[in-house]
Structures are given as C-alpha cells and as structure tokens.
C-alpha cells in the first residue's frame, strides 16, 4: 500500500474525521465560509435590501432596550444602597462589599457611583479598636 495525502473516511460520511481534514476538504470549507460572508456583507451595503436591514434589527432593538433598562435600574439601586448605608451607619461601604451584594463587578460599581455623583473615601479603613 502506497502512502497518500488522503485520510481515512469515517463510515457513512463524506468527510474525514474531525481531527484530520484533507487539503481539498479544507479548501471547500474555507470557500463556503467566505462566500457566506461576502453575501452577508453585500446585503448590508445594498440600499435595496432595507427591508432585510429593518427585519434584522427589530429583535435587537427590543433586547437592547431591555438591557439598557436593566443596567439603569441596577445603577440606581447601587447608588440608593450606598446612600442608605451612609445614612443609617454613618460610614461608607467598600466597593468590594457593594459589588458582592449586587453580584456585579467593581468597575460596574465605580461607574454607577460616578454617574450618581457619589464619592467614597479613598484608602484603607482605619481600625476602630
């Protein structure tokens, strides 16, 4: 048996196993992907395809609106919780405590406080013994 560049085919399929793809198969898969991308890009730039554009954006608009409302409410909740904590206890909570309480990142907390105009004391807390 002479060695060839072909890999063994799996039973019942036209393609080789997923680990070994022949150069011909690789070329075919690459062509399919680029043709799909070219067609999609052509649709987005074609002024005749405005119906395609609007139909593609409709579900995204609703999802983006919900996401924006959710983020806005979280920001307001964070600001309210910090002010309530300062009012009731007289000390500011740490960014880490706020992030853990709301299940968000430290950066999200910082952005929310900055947008609300709340500034927390910098540095480490002093030990009250």
The model's pLDDT over 18-75, given as tens digits with 9 standing for 90+, comes to: 567 788 877 777 766 666 677 777 777 777 777 877 888 888 888 899 999 988 899 9
Residues 6+ apart with CB under 8 A from 21: 7, 15, 29
Q: How many helices (H) and strands (E) does the chain have?
A: 4, 0
Residue 52 lies in a domain: yes
Per-residue pLDDT tens digits for 17-26: 556 778 887 7
Q: Which residue has the higher pLDDT, 26 or 76?
A: 76
pTM: 0.52
Would residue 97 count as lying in a domain? yes
Which residues span the domain enclosing 65?
27-116
Rounded distance, CA 79 to CA 82, Å? 5
Domain count along the chain: 1
Which one, of 34, 90, 33, 50, lies nearest residue 82 by Cα?
90
Q: Tokens representing 19? A: 């680990």
> φ, ψ for residue 16 (rounded to 5)?
-75, 180
């Amino acid at each position: 048996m002479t060695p060839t560049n072909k890999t063994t085919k799996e039973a019942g399929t036209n393609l080789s196993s997923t680990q070994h793809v022949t150069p011909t198969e690789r070329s075919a898969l690459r062509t399919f992907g680029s043709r799909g991308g070219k067609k999609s890009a052509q649709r987005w730039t074609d002024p005749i395809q405005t119906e395609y554009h609007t139909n593609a954006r409709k579900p995204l608009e609703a999802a983006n609106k919900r996401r924006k409302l959710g983020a806005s409410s979280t920001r307001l909740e964070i600001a309210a919780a910090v002010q309530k904590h300062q009012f009731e206890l007289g000390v500011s909570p740490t960014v880490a405590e706020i992030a853990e309480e709301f299940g968000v990142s430290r950066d999200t907390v910082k952005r929310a406080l900055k947008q609300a105009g709340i500034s927390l004391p910098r540095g480490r807390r002093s030990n009250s013994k």
